[in-house]
Amino acid sequence: MALQDWFYRYFIETYGYNPVNTTVYAIVLIAFVYAIFKTLERLNVKMDKRLALSVSPFVVLGSSIRVLEDSRFLSGYVFMTPWIYFLTFGITFLVLLISLAI
């Protein structure tokens, strides 16, 4: 099975979760969490209560947009799990970098 066929079968054609895409998402999550921690260490960002409070509105934003997609108020592939969380992370990280620069 070609890589394109495999990707289409398990990530596009199949709606919802299956063992293959769930495993891939878990591996990506672990890799991203490790990379985030290492990046925060390099940027000298302390992981404390202040950071958690600063990031929490973005967590609520990502979850709220996902709920709006479930209620069919928003539509589009980018608003579905896990893509909405990648988008929310990108926005959060961009705001963090801007705030560190300021």
Predicted local distance difference test score (pLDDT) of residue 13: 74
Count of other CB atoms within 10 angstroms of residue 24: 14
* Closest C-alpha among 56, 79, 76 to residue 66: 79
List, for residues 53-99, the tens digit of each pLDDT value.
999 999 999 889 888 888 888 888 788 777 888 889 999 999 999 99
**Mean pLDDT value across the chain:** 86
pTM metric for this prediction: 0.72
Reading the block at residue 27, the tokens are 């591996």
Give, in order, the Cα–Cα distances in Å from 91 to each of 17, 56, 79, 94, 97. 25, 13, 14, 5, 10
List, for residues 75-88, the tens digit of each pLDDT value.
887 887 778 888 89
Check pLDDT > 90 for residue 30.
yes
83: three-class secondary structure by DSSP: helix
At 25, the amino acid letter reads Y
